Structure 1
Amino acid sequence: MKILIVDDELPIKDYIAYCIRESGAACEAVVSASSGAAALRLLEQQAADLVLTDITMPRMDGLELLAQIRARWPQTDVVMLTCHDDFAFARSAMQQGAADYILKSEIEPDTMRTLLERVAEKRLREHPEQIVTRRLSFGRYLDQALSDPAVDLLDRETVRAYLLSYKLGDYFVCLFRYNKSMLDGLAKMRFPWIRWQWTLPLEDGDIFVLADLARGMSGSEQQRRLAEFCAALRACAEEPVGASGIYHDETGLKRALLDARRNLSRDFYRGTVEPPQNPIDNETALKQMFVFRNNAINALAGRDWTSFREQTEGLFAFACERQVPAERLKRVLCFIAEMAAESAQATTVLLAKIVGAAHLEELQQMFGEFAEKLEQNDRRYSENIESALSYIRQHFRDNITLQDAAKAAFLNTEYFSRRFKKEVGVNFSEYLLTLRMQEAQRLLRTTKLRVSEIAEQVGIPNVSYFTSVYKKQFGGTPAESRKH
């Protein structure tokens, strides 16, 4: 809990802060104020979970301060500090919504610990849903801002409303993938140079940490503290951590988040904070990723494991060279895995491993083992279907039909069609088209034949139709494919 101490006598404020520190409770005496008016000004700048306030103070007494806090910050608890002859005031304060009261003559570390534990238990009983709801709402607000390219700067007052009127000063944003060890470690961290810290989940599985730094630090000291914070997080688990630079205004929170996300991706690739030498825009990167993805899926359909490995290895190399955001790479791999895995259970396990991979090397090793297992477990087709597949592979350049393949399998056409789809996973025409497109792509990249000649060789003499099918299959025209 973050605590504000309000008393017009300096020695008493110092003694209360000492008792809080010595109590051993999970609390921090953040600031103190010598009057009710000063306390309200501090609360406008910095939220507090608990206010410890004297009842008898000049100008604005504790009861008036209590009423103001209950009206403006209902989730802030107030404990009244009273002398023996103020007991009637304390009872009145309890009736007006104070969380508790304590006699000044009884304040010592042990009694303070008991009081703070009592208030903490009360807060857990009364506020958990509100706290969780508010933080989830803040997360949704940030997710929407991140997904909207029209939004650059956030609305300052909206951000402050989510932070309960807290005004950010010099702050940084930190991101990491959900990891229990890191969350547990984060909960135990206590840095005196962090004034206030928020932690909440984002929609894509990242954990978002917003840390506001103490005033008065130089720029170089702020950078040292930021590095210290990230090092402490990484020490909890070997997971990537992405941190923004130092920002100074709530409106730049989206920019800070994007900054942290870029560095999270670079940490995933174990790279530096320097941008890639060959930058590429998101749309172009996405198109190239789709080409690798579609080629890998086509190789799966043809049970061409050499091509499958080449395409997935090419995908990893491209992602690493251009430092494609880790989450985009993982989404593409998840799509391939869903197409390849042979059971729902296996798919679920594999997808969890892909999403949870901490670094590129881990992901590459995992996917390499997956491809090897697929090849080892490659299904053995029935003798009839194996005969048909052999016939199709030999004659796919010719004008063969379903009836020709059924004849090669020694089966009637209708039964063969059903049997082929069940064993191979795609129907006859899809399998035939995949073989033709793979051969076309090979010829485009290894020969100087004209597109019309390649179309003729793979059994699709209509060039317009060939180009249309090729573009649909690989995401680009034959000419574009040849450039690669």
Structure 2
Amino acid sequence: MFKMLIVEDERWEREGLLDFLDWGGIGIEIVGTAVDGIDGLEKSLSLLPDIIVTDIQMPGMNGLQMAQKVREWLPDVRIIVLTGYDDFSYAREAIQFGADNYVLKPVEEEEMRKVMDKVVRDCELKRRKKQEEEALQQELLSRERVAAEKKISDLLKGRRRDATPSSLMDEHGLSIHGLAYSVMIVVTPSGDVESRIRQALNGLCVVVGCDEIDQASVVIVPIQAEHPFPAELAERLVQAAGELSCIGVGEAVPEIDQIHESYKQAVNTVRFGMFRDRRGFVTYTEVEQVKQDFSLHSHEFFKKWQELSRQLRIQVAANDAAKLDELLEELFHEISLHPGAGKDYIAAHLNILIGEISLMEENGTEGTFSGEMHLGQDLLMLNRLQDMQNYVRHFIIGLWARLDEKRNRKDDYIVNKVIRLIERSYGSSSFSLTMAASEVFLSPNHLSVILKKAIGKSLHEYLLEYRMKKAEELLRTTRNKVSWVAEQVGIPNTSYFGTLFKQAYGMTPGEYQEFMLRK
């Protein structure tokens, strides 16, 4: 829809124009009316119409004077003047200064529609051209931005050694000779802070996305070489990034082509901060210091770790869940007291602990160490110490629960394992009581007694019931042959399968399949 303003001093003509045509039907919305040229000028500047229909002869400021002033502010507005035969010379003058058309009074509907249809087409053409120009401009800006970010990425990765302060200033508006350069990595929960950072630092920075860390931005800031990062600037950056942000700061470098060194330091520093759940600034110097301190006392940490690991294994075996939880809290508290212990170091030790405790789960049951090796390796994918703690606690408590089930509810454990075994192996015609008994290290007779007591059925009865249930599902949902279904449920003898199915469902497999397909 295009916005239109009507300027007419005669009330009855002004109101008549409001309903003169089906304006909405031709793509026009009347956004206002004005009673003279002065009122029309004010409303034009406030309503910003696409089209103005104005009378010529009006008191105070006539239509031509108003239109000329409107053109100064709104050069693209379409202007249609209304004029009588006696004022036709005004119409010629209006066309000369740029009115788009004129309509003679008294206004005829057909003539008005013809003029307005042409004006709407012109507006549509103008709008479409403007949109195409804007889209082209956006595409060019996008290409320039991508190219600029690629250059910055190459610079940060050490792949571009030809950068100078002046070239960086030309490409990104960054800064002045005689300064050092510092790289920061800003990680926030939202990840969308680049415009706020630019505003907070008054544009004296380059901000691009970080392709090594999720929801992170890289900020390059010129600073005085002799001074640390300005505290006032740091405060503004924290406010822009948010209280929950973590900002890793690399050391300043004197030359722009060395900035990859500061970038690498910032990446390692912010990863340290994320792992330790730090907020605000974390400097490379600080991280190196805590790592050095830890190297001097790592033997004390390892000794404490070994003792806590030993106690954890004892409590898993001793069936004391409360004490186990308490020891896990103590273990991670000990980790928190040694910030210099890096993520890879902690993950490796936790992986060993998981492996040692996993070996306590006997007999190759689900969740044994062989089946959980990849889970231990998943620790390296976690970026926060709290996530590692949750992961390890969930794993160890889960393993303890399975061991507890084996110790205190051994029969239930055996029955559940046999049922899961049936659910996996029912399709094998060779599956038998003897095979199931060997899986749980019992004699067939002993297993039969346990199953009969627990579920009121023998293994053969339960297996047959489960096979018929699966056969019914296949007959109901597929069009495969009965012989195929029989083989899938472990009864390759089709005749025998048909007899068993009819006993269970009161009709042959073929009859049942046909009946279900007709429904």
| TM-score normalised according to structure 1 size | 0.36
- Rg: which structure is higher? 2
| TM-score normalised according to structure 2 size | 0.34
The higher relative CO (CA closer than 8 Å, separation ≥ 6) is in 1
